[in-house]
Amino acid sequence: MKILELPINNYYLKSSITFFREKFKKRFDFIRKKKFLFIEISNFLNNCINNSKNTYIFCAGNSIIAKNILSNKIYVQEIDEKYKIKHNDNIFYRDEVSHEEIASCDTIIIADIEHQANPTSNLIKLSQMANDDTKIIVLSKNMIWMMLIKILKFFFDFSPLKNNFLPSSYLNNLFTTCNLEVIRNEKIIALPVKVPMLTNFVNKLFRLPLLNLFCLKNITVLKKVNQDFKKKNNLGVSFIVPCKNEEDNIRLFEKEISLSNRNYEYLFGNDNSTDDTSNEIDKLKKKLNENKLIKYDGPGICKSENVYKGIENASGDIIVVYDADLTVSFEDIEFSLDILKSTNADFINCTRMIYPQKDGAMKFFNFIIICTLSIKINRNYGLSVFCNFLLY
C-alpha cells in the first residue's frame, strides 16, 4: 500500500500538537458545549457532498463533524489519539494516509488547514492523488471572526494561540497554486451561541448577501482544474418535462425531439392535467417510437415534486429539467450540455434575466424582486442542467 507522505508530526504545527495533546479536557468541554455548531457544519457539508461513497476528513480536535456526515465510509486523520472517538461504525481513524484510500474517496474535507505546518505542500499532494471528479472542501474562518477568536483565546483557552492566519486572498492564491478551482463558496453561522429559536433564525438570515460577511465559517468547494473531460462525452442525458395542461405545447416537441440526439431520454410528467395533455404525450410516443419517451404521473402537488419523481425514474447521468412551453431552445440545451461536459461544472442554472425583456413580459416590481432573490438563489427560468450522480 502506497503511503502519502503526510506524517502527523510534520503535518501539523508543533504549537497545535502540543495544545491539543495537553489541553484535551478543555477542548473536549468546548466541543461538548458547542456541539450544535459542529452539527450545523456537518449538515451543511452534507448538502455539498450529496451522500458520498467515501469521505476523507483531516481534523484537528474537531473530528466530531464526522459523526453526522452521510457517507458509506469515512476516513479520519486526527491530531492526537485522545480525539479518536468512534462515533459511528463507518468511521475509521488513520495515522497514515494511503494513496489507495484517497483515490477511493469522492470527497475530501480539510477541517484543519489553520493547524497545518505546510498547507501548500499538503494540498498539492492531495490534489495529485485525488481523482479528477473528487470534491475537496476546505473549512476556514472569516477574517472578522479570525481576529475576534484570536482575542477570545487569551481568555478561554479553547484553541492554540499560534496558528495559521489564512485570509481569503491567501487561500484563493493557495488554491490556484495547487491547480484547484473554486466551484462553490458559502458562509455559515453568524451566531455561535445556542439561543432557542433565535440562533436558527439568525444563522439562516445571515446566509443572505452582505449579511454573510459576518458569518463565522467559510466553506469552499474545490475541484482539480486540469481534467480529462473525454469520459464525459458518453454520459447519458435525461430530460424531465413537468406538464400541467400543456396539450398544445406537447405537439411542438415532435420536431425538436426528431432533430435531437436519438440517445436522449425524455420523461413527461403529467401532473393531473384537466385537458388532453396525457393523450398528446401518448401520441408523441407512438410517432417517435425510435426515441425513448416515458410518461409518468406527477404527484399533483407542485412542480418541484413532479421533477423529483422524474429524476427518480431517469436513467441518464445528466438531468435536464425543461419547461413544457419550450421557451428555451434546444440549441441552448446543447450549448449547456457542452459546457457541462467540457468543464468542472456540476450544475448549470439558466436564466433569461440577462437579456432584454420584451415590453410587458414582466411587471417592474416582479423584476426587482426576482433580481434581488437571484443574487442568492439563482432562480432559473425554463432550464436547469446537472449531473445526476450528485443526487446520490
Please give the class, per CATH, of domain 3-226. Answer: alpha beta
Task: Give the confidence band of 2 by pLDDT, cuts at 50, 70, 90.
Answer: low
State pLDDT tens for residues 87-97: 999 999 999 89
Higher pLDDT: 49 or 51? It is 49
pLDDT of residue 61: 94
Report the DSSP beta bridge partners of residue 318.
237, 387
Among 110-114, 285-289, 355-359, where is mean pLDDT lowest? 355-359
Q: Are 280 and 250 in contact (CB under 8 A)?
A: yes
From-to residues of CATH 3.90.550.10 in the chain: 230-391
Higher pLDDT: 352 or 313? It is 313
State pLDDT tens for residues 231-286: 777 889 999 999 999 999 999 999 999 998 889 999 999 999 999 999 999 999 99
pTM of the model as a whole: 0.69
- Distance between CA atoms of 370 and 321, rounded to whole angstroms? 20
**Amino acid (one-letter) located at 277:** T
- Distance between CA atoms of 249 and 19, rounded to whole angstroms? 67
Torsions phi, psi for 86 (to 5 deg):
-80, 85
Report the DSSP beta bridge partners of residue 221.
137, 184
Q: Are 98 and 4 in contact (CB under 8 A)?
A: yes
Q: What is the mean pLDDT of the segment spanning 211-229?
A: 88
pLDDT of residue 381: 43
Beta carbons within 8 Å of 329's beta carbon, 6+ residues apart: none
Q: State which CATH number among 3.90.550.10, 1.10.150.20, 1.20.970.10, 2.40.30.10 fits the domain covering 230-391.
A: 3.90.550.10
* Whether residue 380 has pLDDT greater than 60: no
State pLDDT tens for residues 193-209: 889 989 999 999 999 98
Q: What is the mean pLDDT of the segment spanning 131-145?
A: 92
State pLDDT tens for residues 4-35: 555 566 899 999 999 999 999 999 999 999 99
From-to residues of CATH 3.40.50.150 in the chain: 3-226
Task: Give the confidence band of 369 by pLDDT, cuts at 50, 70, 90.
Answer: low
Largest CA distance in the chain: 75
